[in-house]
Amino acid sequence: MTGSETAQTSQSWADVDWNALLEPYKLPSAWRSTFQLINTAVPLGLIWLAMLWSLQHGYWLTLLLAVPTALLFMRMFMFQHDCGHGAFFRSRRLNNIVGSAIGVMTLVPYDYWRKTHAIHHATSGNLDHRSFGDIDTLTVREYLGLPQSKRRIYRLYRHPLVMLVIGPAYQFIFKHRYPADLPRAWRREWASVHKTNLALLAVLVLVWSTVGLKSFLLVQLPVTLISGSIGVFLFYVQHQYEDTYWRFREAWNYYEAGMDGSSHFVLPKVLQWFTANIGLHHIHHVSSQIPNYRLQRCLEENRALQNVTRLTLAESLKTLRMTLWDEDERRLVGFRDLGPIRERLARDGTPIAATKPDAVPQLWR
């Protein structure tokens, strides 16, 4: 199936014995995880040095090499992601050590990201909990109830240029250095931010005294920007498509949200390797403890897991226009769809106001 085709009802997802179905795939393999680190870190180091060498022969070559380097950086982040879920090594301590080390490379403080990402998993698709770890999505009624100035800001926020270029640059380079929205009570997460910043400062001092700060930035900045944009797009398309899943708390179900609100992003094999199978996102959301290298086998051996929304690369680009959740039709729509929706609401006599004002994300109230 592709696009908006689905073959299993939400009710049946809630009835599945997920523990029995997915338990055989959860155990991490130390040698496979170690081999993944080696077969990614070694070529990453070599190609990064090749980028440094290419500065003497033309910056066009440096930028060309930045693409595969960024893909390898993104694959390293996927290992950090698995560590955060306790799915890369059996040892929690080893997961935390490796995840924290990769976090310096990816500019993502490990404990900070792990906490906010856990909130995303626990509340994905819940309209009453749109907070950390998510791309802000308003319902049609919430959007239409906003003053004109905030509607413009929301349109700007959801513009592809902001979402995929400006946003990732801000998130990875600046916000992760000082996440002002992080509660002060989260001491471990703040410590992670500060430790990552200190490690990055040490790296800058080292490169300043060796390859030079200018050369380092000419190599690393395009890699960071490209990998960040690809990473945000992956996260976006895995939850933002027409027949995704959003419900208020009373009707929300964790497994329904995982299966109906997370896509199977069908990628060419080479991109599936670079993204460490994260496109099998529906399986990941119902069981985040499954290591990335077991997701494909899990899909192939369980026919029920194949009956979800599948998106190809071409179809994924169409999702960029889907920006608002239509509560009545239970589908994601775009700004261009608002005309007919307004007419429908007017015919039905439905108030154009937030269904649950307290559920609207704080920024958009």
> Is the separation of the CB atoms in 335 and 247 below 8 Å?
no
What pLDDT shows up at residue 352? 84
Could you tell me the CA-to-CA distances from 157 to 161, 166, 336 in Å, in that order?
A: 9, 10, 16
The number of folded domains in the chain is 1
Instruction: Indicate whether 322 belongs to any domain.
Output: no
Residue 83: predicted pLDDT: 98
Q: Is 256 exposed, middle or buried (0-12, 13-18, 19+ CB in 10 A)?
A: buried
Res 133: pLDDT:
73
What does the DSSP assignment read for 309-323? Answer: -EE-HHHHHHGGG--
Is 358 within a domain? no
Given this model, what pLDDT does residue 168 score? 95
Sequence-distant (≥ 6) Cβ neighbours of residue 140 within 8 angstroms: 324, 325, 326, 327, 333, 338, 341
Provide the Cα torsion 140, 255, 117, 138; round to 10°: 0
Asked whether residue 338 is domain-assigned, the answer is: no
pLDDT value for 76: 98
Long-range contacts of 55-58 (CB under 8 A, 24+ apart): 55/215, 55/218, 55/219
The pLDDT score that the predictor gives to residue 2 is 40
Which domain, by its residues, includes 121? 10-135+157-313
* pTM of this structure: 0.92
* pLDDT given for residue 6 in this prediction: 41
Residue 341 lies in a domain: no
Is 352 inside any structural domain? no
CA angle 18, 130, 263 (to 5 degrees): 45
| pLDDT recorded at residue 362 | 87
How many other CB atoms are there within 10 angstroms of residue 346's CB atom?
10
Task: Please tell me the predicted confidence (pLDDT) of residue 84.
Answer: 97
For the record, the structure tokens of 224 come out as 């960071």
**pLDDT tens-place string over residues 144-156:** 999 999 999 999 9
Each of the 365 residues of the chain gets a pLDDT tens digit; together they read 344 334 444 447 778 889 899 999 999 999 999 999 999 999 999 999 999 999 999 999 999 999 999 999 999 999 999 999 999 999 999 999 999 999 999 999 999 999 999 999 999 999 999 987 788 999 999 999 999 999 999 999 999 999 999 999 999 999 999 999 999 999 999 999 999 999 999 999 999 999 999 999 999 999 999 999 999 999 999 999 999 999 999 999 999 999 999 999 999 999 999 999 999 999 999 999 999 999 999 999 998 899 899 999 999 999 999 999 999 999 999 999 999 998 888 888 777 889 999 999 988 98
Answer whether residue 248 is part of any domain: yes
Q: Is residue 5 part of a domain?
A: no
Which residue, among 3, 25, 12, has the nearest Cα to 256 in the 3D structure? 12
Q: How much is the pLDDT for 13?
A: 79
Torsion of CA 56, 62, 68, 71, to 10 degrees: 120
Assess contact for 281 and 264: CB atoms under 8 A.
yes
Note whether 153 and 160 are within 8 A (CB): no
In this structure, is residue 365 part of a structural domain?
A: no
